[in-house]
Amino acid sequence: MLKRITLITIALVIAAGSALALADGPWGRDILKKGTVVNLEGTLRYEDPEWKLETGSGSYLLHFGNRAYLSETGIGLNEGEPVSVEGALSGDDLVVFSARVGGKTYRFRDENGVPLWVRRGNKTNCGDRSYEQRNRRDCEDCPGRSFGLKKDRRADQHG
């Protein structure tokens, strides 16, 4: 019995540690709430497993979002390649709305910061509305539609 309790305790400690490790760092939604929308240009730098944008004014960690969606876009990211990014900036974290790489623009979020990959679902977070009501494009009052980004916090450049 003591052996079983010990094993369960160890499993719980490992699970809790894993959850804390995954929670490390800001989430895209948190950056959106605090951030300002900017347009930045620079070059890509890869620091396993993350991409950074190097500019004359600093280095920014790029948050593209869902890795499966990133792969689906077909975007080719290469170290040292020039890139132009529109996104929400908070500190050194940049949530990518769109990126222009190799002469092509790739979109990851809409102008309100809503991830494009979530639009594929049933929008079940819209309460007890019917399927048709949930899937209207103007479902602005749905809890999942806004991440707190205010259009008046948009900026053309980051100084």
Residue 141 within a domain: yes
- Domain tally, the chain: 1
Q: Name which residue leads in pLDDT, 81 or 13.
A: 81
Residue 19 within a domain: no
Confidence of residue 111 (pLDDT cuts 50, 70, 90): confident
Residue 56 within a domain: yes
Domain limits at 68? 26-153
Residue 1 within a domain: no
End-to-end alpha-carbon separation of the chain, Å?
63
* pLDDT tens string 31-65: 777 788 999 999 999 998 899 999 999 999 999 98
* pLDDT tens string 9-31: 776 667 655 444 444 455 566 77
Looking up tokens 């969606």, which residue turns up? 69
Is 118 within 8 Å of 102 (Cβ atoms)? Answer: no
For residue 61, the cross-strand partners are 52, 93
Q: Residue 32 maps to which CATH number? A: 2.40.50.140
